[in-house]
Structure 1
Amino acid sequence: MKIGIGIPNQIRNVNAVVVPEWARRAEEAGFSSLGSVGRVAYPGVMDTVALAAAAGATKRIGLISNVLLGPVWPALLLAKEIQSIDAVSGGRLTLGLGLGGRSDDFVVEGLGARGTGKRLDRDIETYKSVWRGETPVGCDNPLVPEGSREVPVLFGGMVQATYDRVARSGRGYIGASLPVGMVAGAFDGVRAAWKEAGRQGAPYLVAIAYYAIADAEGGRANVHDYYSSAGTDVAGLITSTVSGGADAVKATVEGFKAIGADELILNPTNDDLDEIQRVAEIVL
């Protein structure tokens, strides 16, 4: 199982200047990927900006959005944005997509929080058309340079429609920041849908887990704050999964390895650059 690390782009009032240095140190430490957290209505750094900054600061490490809220974006705009980041990185980006569950993230007029599943399915076809170099209706030119690649796509979500979407249109799946047992059920659902669809090989399965080494309570408070708009129960559940300290992080790694995750992204709970080396010494 590969071990990646998150970018602290959605810590409340994050010191945004740390993002490029965070990316550089993560690559130097030997993590497999850098992951971003996606949300609009929160005082952090937009995930596309964080990924672009990380792309410019690194040369080898993978980049993954876990997860970007696809339906909050106009499809053509997002398709170009993603291809641009992928191109700047030299083809290191994986696009992790989710529907979004908080209505305040839908700030673009005409793109509301209803019908997001059907909209995302249509948008995926638009993304792929753009990446193939096709000229959209109403445009005089393709939106991306000739020879652009189709960016691999993963999907997040805990319902059958998501598992089917993975099997139909994706390279794999990203589990939510939930206890291992809950993510195991989702992994099984994805595997079953993949097999039912007749796909060859296996879906790429990514897990996410929050960690805090130096300040576990502060880290938990930050996670609770981020998820508070989803309700007390949800915020409490996700906060309870934060791995505080070396032993807890090791147990989390073993738990996700046991359920067959291909990659685990350890998400930071603060923007302290020293947390990169602290967790690297535990898991790498």
Structure 2
Amino acid sequence: MRIGIGLPNTTPGVDGPLLLQWARRAEERGFAFVSTIGRVPYPSYDSLTALAAVGAATSRIELLTNAVLAPTYPDAVLAKITGTVAQLSGGRLTLGLGVGARESDYRASERDFASRGDVFDRQLEYLHRAWRGEPVEAGDHEGEQRAVVPPGREVPVLVGGHGRRAVRRTARWGAGWTGAGGGPRRAEPMVGQVLDAWREAGRPGEPRLLGLAYFSTDPRHDEAADAYLRKYYAYAGDHGNTIAEGAVRTPRRIREIITEFESVGMNEVVFTPTLAHLTEVDRLADLVL
């Protein structure tokens, strides 16, 4: 089981220097990767910009978005930004990509919400071509085609979502699949479907299967941690409450959740913070590494 830790890029009370300190401490303590969560109309730090800075502030730890809402970006812009971050970080970037469920993200981005699934399917093909340096955009002259990013390795993609299209996208384009904050039991049916589709597609090896657990380690701040999650997921109604109630906040539950994710077939887990205290990195490392 590979274990990563989230950056507190959406957590109240965070400044830029703390994000970089957090990432450096995570690298020092031996976490496999740092990750971000994100949305558009929310006072948070942009995932890709934050990871570009983290890549410069660290040297080994992997970088993961979990997840970027791909259709909120124009195709060429997303290809250019992600290709740039991947190459500047020495190939440490993995992209968790999805379409999301909040119409507000699309209004704020001036993008169409209803067509996001079709847009995402097109983008997955476009991105892989662009990362290889293939011509994907019209140039300055009629009939001309240009690349939008210097040629490099394709960026690994973890596809998000809980439907048949997410399974299909994972089998065709993904290095694996990422679950949202619904816990191991919500992820379990998707894990089986992804594994079946992966094998049917003739993909070699096993897909990366990433689970997410919200956590805090300081019981003095449980109320603040819970309030943050309920506010962040207020749009989701009962499901948002389920996510908040599923956060792990004791040493026993933090250790147990790893075993629970493993028992449903997942091979990676990211602990995503609900408190922006640097000591959370060390306390978590002491419990799980």
Counterpart-to-counterpart distance in 1, 2:74 and 2:275: 31
Contact 1:69–1:100 (Cα < 8 Å) also in 2: yes
- Alignment match, 1:149: 153
Counterpart-to-counterpart distance in 2, 1:60 and 1:47: 18
- Alignment match, 1:205: 209
- Write out aligned runs for 1:109-258 (5 A): 109=110, 111-139=111-139, 141-146=146-151, 148-214=152-218, 215-231=221-237, 233-258=238-263
User: How far off its partner does 1:169 sit?
Assistant: 1.3
User: How far off its partner does 1:13 sit?
Assistant: 5.2
- Alignment match, 1:5: 5
Moved more, 254-263 or 132-141: 132-141
Residue correspondences, number: 281
Contact 2:137–2:148 (Cα < 8 Å) also in 1: no
Asked if 1:262 is matched to 2:267, the reply is: yes
| TM-score, with length taken from structure 2 | 0.93
| Alignment deviations for residues 201-220 of structure 1 (CA, whole Å, 9 cap, x no partner) | 22111111100001233212
Gaps of 5+ in 1: none
- Alignment match, 1:22: 22
| Alignment deviations for residues 251-281 of structure 1 (CA, whole Å, 9 cap, x no partner) | 1111112222221100001211110001100
| Alignment deviations for residues 212-237 of structure 1 (CA, whole Å, 9 cap, x no partner) | 00123321211111111222x02101
Asked if 1:53 is matched to 2:53, the reply is: yes
SS in structure 1 of the partner of residue 277 of structure 2: coil
Contact 2:76–2:137 (Cα < 8 Å) also in 1: no
- Poorly superposed stretches of 4+, deviation over 3 Å: none
User: How far off its partner does 1:154 sit?
Assistant: 0.9
Contact 1:26–1:276 (Cα < 8 Å) also in 2: yes
> Matched residues, percent identical?
39
User: How far off its partner does 1:198 sit?
Assistant: 2.6
Contact 1:37–1:65 (Cα < 8 Å) also in 2: yes
Moved more, 250-259 or 27-36: 250-259
SS in structure 1 of the partner of residue 16 of structure 2: coil
| TM-score, with length taken from structure 1 | 0.95
